[in-house]
């Protein structure tokens, strides 16, 4: 049974993480259910261990790598193991687990790694070759071999679609089981769980398009100066519309890359994501971090307004905000409404 809010309050208070429910009162019913589900999945014992490591400020020393044991096989032990494996296959007691939560970023492919076409002649994806081996085992030993595929929030839908588009590569769909891996929470310097921001809340409402304005790391101001904002979006149409709107209003906006490899820079050693990708490409790695909080929404844009958000020079001696982005957003919405009005009249 899922944890109740009262149980969550007690558990979080005991772990020193009561701030997780700080915004409970302004959440909708669906958002509350989602938050309780996430709390229910947290291993607070592990969180406490991470917190102690952070308190010592010597994380590297707290983890002592140990070499993995090496098993030496003789011809006899190999034969015995092979025979036992065949016996279990004939009894229908063997399944296959594939860890497939990653993207094909290092291959230059913006999709699940398993969906990348590697067949030199057929062009078939990596999933195909795994699946055909399982098909052969099932036929050879006369028993189904369930295929468990662990995906992630990023590629679950695309992975399922790949199998559906290829008729499950000859497998029985009932024997293919997809499940999503969890996400390990990140902690701040004081050992507190880091909360997702309003971007995730907005994406949960399933909008057709989503704009997000923030200042993030300041790296964008280093790249573009203090009069130009950076634009990041996986949607070329949305990006083009926003650039046109900015030009019409006189606000300076420049599109910067949001390539898959920037996300790889954000992978954490002690959590799934870290909050800084380092010095190089800081504006793009920050945008890649945000991309992990929009779910499967593709028509979204991040405007990094670190440069033009405030008046004054580098020392910010003249205080005040410029309101950058308001004019561009209004112009974009007006153009969007005009196009929609024309479409409806047709």
DSSP string, 6-25: HHHHHHHHHTT-GGGGTTGG
Residue 1's alpha-carbon distances to 4, 37, 39, 111, 185, in angstroms, are 9, 10, 13, 35, 22
What are the residues whose beta carbons fall under 8 Å from the beta carbon of 293, sequence distance 6 or more? 196, 197, 199, 200, 203
CB 200, CB 159: distance < 8 Å: no
Q: What are phi and psi of 100, to 5 degrees?
A: -135, 40
Q: Indicate the pTM of the whole model.
A: 0.52
What integer pLDDT is reported at residue 12 of this predicted model? Answer: 93
Q: Establish how many alpha carbons lie within 13 A of residue 92's alpha carbon, considering only the half-sphere containing its beta carbon.
A: 4
What integer pLDDT is reported at residue 341 of this predicted model? Answer: 80
**Can you spell out the DSSP letters for 36-63?**
HHHHHH--HHHHHHHHHHHHHT-HHHH-
Q: Which helix (H) or strand (E) holds 301?
A: strand 300-304
For residue 298, give the nearest of 210, 197, 196 by alpha carbon: 210
Residue 25's alpha-carbon distances to 31, 42, 174, in angstroms, are 11, 21, 42
What integer pLDDT is reported at residue 62 of this predicted model? Answer: 52
CB 132, CB 160: distance < 8 Å: no
Look up tokens 């929030």; give the residue: 153
What integer pLDDT is reported at residue 93 of this predicted model? Answer: 97
All structural domains of the chain: 5-61 (no CATH), 75-180 (no CATH), 198-345 (3.40.630.10)
What integer pLDDT is reported at residue 261 of this predicted model? Answer: 80
Give the distance, in angstroms, between the CA of residue 65 and the centroid of all CA atoms in the same chain: 28
Mean pLDDT by 10 residues, the chain (346 residues): 87 91 84 86 87 68 73 88 96 96 76 92 95 97 97 89 96 95 74 76 83 85 90 95 96 91 70 65 85 84 91 61 92 91 77
């Amino acid at each position: 049974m899922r944890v109740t809010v009262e149980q969550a309050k007690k558990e979080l208070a005991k772990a020193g993480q009561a701030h997780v429910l700080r915004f409970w009162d302004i959440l909708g019913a669906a958002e509350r259910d989602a938050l309780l589900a996430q709390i229910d999945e947290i291993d607070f014992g592990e969180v406490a261990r991470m917190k102690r490591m952070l308190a010592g400020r010597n994380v590297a020393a707290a983890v002592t790598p140990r070499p993995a044991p090496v098993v030496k096989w003789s011809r006899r032990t190999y034969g015995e193991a092979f025979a036992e494996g065949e016996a279990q296959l004939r009894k229908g007691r063997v399944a296959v687990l594939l860890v497939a939560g990653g993207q094909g970023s290092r291959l230059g492919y913006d999709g699940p790694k398993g969906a990348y076409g590697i067949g030199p002649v057929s062009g078939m994806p990596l999933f195909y070759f795994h699946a055909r081996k399982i098909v052969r085992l099932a036929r050879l030993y006369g028993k189904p071999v369930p295929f468990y595929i662990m995906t992630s929030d990023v590629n679950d839908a695309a992975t399922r679609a790949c199998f559906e588009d290829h008729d499950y590569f000859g497998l029985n769909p009932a024997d293919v089981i997809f499940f999503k891996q969890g996400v390990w929470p990140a902690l701040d310097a004081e050992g507190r769980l880091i909360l997702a921001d309003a971007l995730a809340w907005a994406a949960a409402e399933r909008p057709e398009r989503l704009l997000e304005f923030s200042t993030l790391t300041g790296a964008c101001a280093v790249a573009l100066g203090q009069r130009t904002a950076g634009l990041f979006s996986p949607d070329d149409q949305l990006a083009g519309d926003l650039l046109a709107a900015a030009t019409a209003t006189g606000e300076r906006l420049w599109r910067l890359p949001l390539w898959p490899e920037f996300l790889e820079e954000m992978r954490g050693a002690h959590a799934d994501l870290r909050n800084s990708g380092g010095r190089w490409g800081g504006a793009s790695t920050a945008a890649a971090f945000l991309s992990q909080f929009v779910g499967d929404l593709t028509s979204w844009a991040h405007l990094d307004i670190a440069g033009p958000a405030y008046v004054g020079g580098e020392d910010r001696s003249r205080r005040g905000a410029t309101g950058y982005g308001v004019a561009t957003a209004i112009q974009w919405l007006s153009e969007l409404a005009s196009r929609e009005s024309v479409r409806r009249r047709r």
